[in-house]
Amino acid sequence: MSGPDGHRGAANLVPVERESGAPVVLPAETLAWIEQRRAMYEDPRAAILPVLHRVQDELGWISLEAEEAVAQAMRMPLAKVHEVVTFYTLFKTQPQGRIRVDICQTMSCMLRGARELFAHMRDRYGVHPGETTADGRLTLHAVECLCNCECAPMAQIADTYHGPLTPAKLDELIAQAQPGETVSAAVTGTCAAAIAEKR
Amino acid sequence: MAVKGFLSALYEQPDMHRLAVAQERANAYAQARRVITMEPAAVIDAVKAANLKGLGGAGFPTGMKWSFVPPKGDKPHYLVVNADEGEPGTFKDRRILLGCPHALLEGIIICCHAIRSEKAYIYVRGEYIHEMKRLQGAIDEAYAAGLLGADHLGTGRRLDVVVHPGAGAYICGEETALIESLEGKKGQPRNKPPFPAIEGLFMCPTVVNNVETLSYLPFLFEMGPQAFNDLGANGTGGCHLVSLSGHIERPGVYEVPMGFPMMELINGLGGGVWKSRRLKAVIPGGLSAPILTADEAQQARLDFKTLRDMGSMAGSGAVMVIDDETPMINVLLNCSHFYHDESCGQCTPCRDGSWWLYKICLRIARGEGRVRDLDEIVRICNNIEGNTICAFGEATAWPIRSYVRKFRGELEAFIQSGQRASEADWYHDDLAAPPLVQIAGVAGTMGAHV
Ligand SMILES: Cc1cc2nc3c(=O)[nH]c(=O)nc-3n(C[C@H](O)[C@H](O)[C@H](O)COP(=O)(O)O)c2cc1C
Ligand code: SF4
Ligand code: FES
């Protein structure tokens, strides 16, 4: 769900506080990564999703200031960046806890007891979907099918899929959880160099 | 019985993602080497003769799709690999990405040769972090070995493969939404025509194929089109990976030939309905597929034609089993919530319709429904179907309407009982919403709240 009304198509009708308070300056290394990524596409604008993943991996979430920095690095209008950020659920427009706990709420997980997991998160950690624990350690999200339904009910904790889960198993995983691998680290490869060499 | 295993025989072996292992134990890239010496038209003819059909959901004949790509002009051609696996119930593509990515890469080389493409993009759903890493590792090895890159396999041509992460949107599995998303926009489907084969990625001729479809190509060429066709049944060649989940003893991915009997899957391979309960219903092809009752399931076979003839679909090969202790309202509520959550929002029938459907289902689940709500649900479904830009509209309307039609008696009894469904309080966000009667009273005015 993107907008406050839960519809991707509808814009954020209610202005949401999204300013982090300080301008975002992307480090030189990130800017170089962005240039390399842009060179992998016939239209450099196509790099926006990997670039947003990278920026979010570094900053933890996408503030309005981060959008501005991305718009500049991507040579794109801010409005176009904003449009992309708000369409996709993996981009978070609010600060997040250090560990993400994404519990699947779709059919196979529902059939095998996802509701119990949500109830447990509420009772034990005091969080509903979309909320962060008071200590800032974790943010819970209710997500749609993560396509690991054979392990239903399941969750993605940090970067890794876990299941089948019980409340006790969930506690154990949460206690051990560390921030994991990131999307941007997973998609950098030799073809970037090969393509750069070609140009 | 299951087939001896093609893709499953690969991904079940340890270390098959490593190039040396894949080459030594599975003869990886041997077929690609052979196929790149063939005329592209002959490659397409072989795929047509094999009756390979798209395993991403639509079941479109693969060879025919490739043949729509125009002769090479000044525009580049692209292959876009759909690894956005998102259809609820489906978890087979990740087996390939993790376990045997070289089968996919070999399929990519074969397809790119047939459609004269020098670049393939693999769009992987953003949650698949380990899968992307594994895939990228395989690609890096293939570049280093000269299987990809400049003068790949000594062809004198280049072939680049780029892994592109999605960012959490079911609709980006739809091929034109995927293209829009890959181009750096919101993932909203395009009006068709033009179809991607004519104007796809960056306005150039593009083939979009699913991971599994492409990964079967090396097997197809190894055994030959006739043998591949003969493996299957009812107009589709080969076998496919079935994702089995829900109330089943042994959930998992099973590789079976086309036309495999549903009950053999459930009771044989899957070990039967869990907890020795009885079967109530089966969703045979991903959440978008109309439901089958337990009686219908007895006759069902897993292939595109049989399931279409039964009024459902084989879709992405995802079978979800529902036991007899599951109230149908839970299934209805969950399904309507999913489509409401994932609509891309650009067509009114789908955006507003999916919202109304969910609100009405939630109202029923909270014990505030009326029997005529069931007619309203069917009416909304009828008005979504056929009136939207992409097939998400049907994917919403078909399953929801099928639950109401096939389980009407149970749903009516539930409404009349005034009970509250056990799942109703699960939708935390919505509990804070105003009383449903106020907003869901007259369907025609509900759009104002969207
Ligand atoms: C709403 C919707 C979601 C889809 N999701 C997927 C998906 O997750 N993966 C996939 O391969 N195809 C998906 N498809 C089907 C694609 O549009 C397309 O038909 C397919 O990728 C073509 O590949 P194939 O011919 O090899 O099956 C979806 C279609 C629709 C309408
Ligand atoms: S049918 Fe739904 S998902 Fe498809 S384009 Fe229209 S609004 Fe978007
Ligand atoms: S329904 Fe939960 S992973 Fe698919």
* Other C-beta atoms lying within 10 Å of the C-beta of residue A65: 17
Closest atom, ligand 3, to C-alpha of A148: 3
* Cβ atoms B367, B361 nearer than 8 A: no
Instruction: Catalogue all structural domains in chain A, each as residue range(s) with its CATH number.
Output: 10-87 (1.10.10), 99-198 (3.40.30.10)
- State whether residue B143 sits within 8 Å of chain A by CB: yes
Question: Is some CB atom of chain A closer than 8 A to the CB atom of B295?
Answer: no
pLDDT tens digit sequence for A59-99 = 999 999 999 999 999 999 999 999 999 999 999 999 999 99
pTM of this structure: 0.94
Check if B129 contacts A (Cβ < 8 Å).
Answer: yes
Cα of A144 vs centre of ligand 3, distance in Å, is 7
All structural domains of chain B with their residue ranges: 7-230, 233-323, 328-439
Instruction: Choose from A111, A160, A161, A198 for mutation: most chain B CBs within 10 A.
Output: A111
CATH architecture of B233-323: Roll (3.10)
Tell me the longest C-alpha to C-alpha distance in chain B: 73
The Cα–Cα gap between B111 and B93 comes to: 18
Cβ separation B426–A118 shorter than 8 A: yes
Q: How far is the CA of B187 from the centre of ligand 2 (A)?
A: 10
DSSP letter for A41, please: S
pLDDT in tens, A111-121: 999 999 999 99
Q: Whose CA is nearest to atom 6 of ligand 1?
A: B173
Cβ atoms of A121 and A131 within 8 Å: the answer is: no
Q: Do A9 and B149 touch (CB under 8 A)?
A: no
> What phi and psi values does residue B422 have, to the nearest 5 degrees?
-60, -25
What's the pLDDT tens digit per position in B27-75? 999 999 999 999 999 999 999 999 999 999 999 999 999 999 999 899 9
Does the C-beta of B195 come closer than 6 Å to ligand 1? no
The tokens of B416 are what? 């009349």
B127-175 tens-digit pLDDT: 999 999 999 999 999 999 999 999 999 999 999 999 999 999 999 999 9
Q: Do domains B7-230 and B328-439 have the same CATH topology?
A: no
- B59 is written with which tokens? 């079941």
Ligand number with the minimum distance to the CA of B338: 3
Q: Which CATH architecture has domain B328-439?
A: Up-down Bundle (1.20)
Helix (H, G, I), strand (E, B) or coil at A197: helix
pLDDT one-digit tens code per residue, B338-390: 999 999 999 999 999 999 999 999 999 999 999 999 999 999 999 999 999 99
* Chain B residues near residue A186 by CB distance under 8 angstroms: 129-130, 132-133, 136, 163, 165
Contact A8 B320 (CB under 8 A): no
CATH classification code of B7-230: 3.40.50.11540
- Measure Cα distances from B36 to B33, B54, B157, B372 in Å: 6, 22, 11, 61
d(CA B232, CA B301): 12
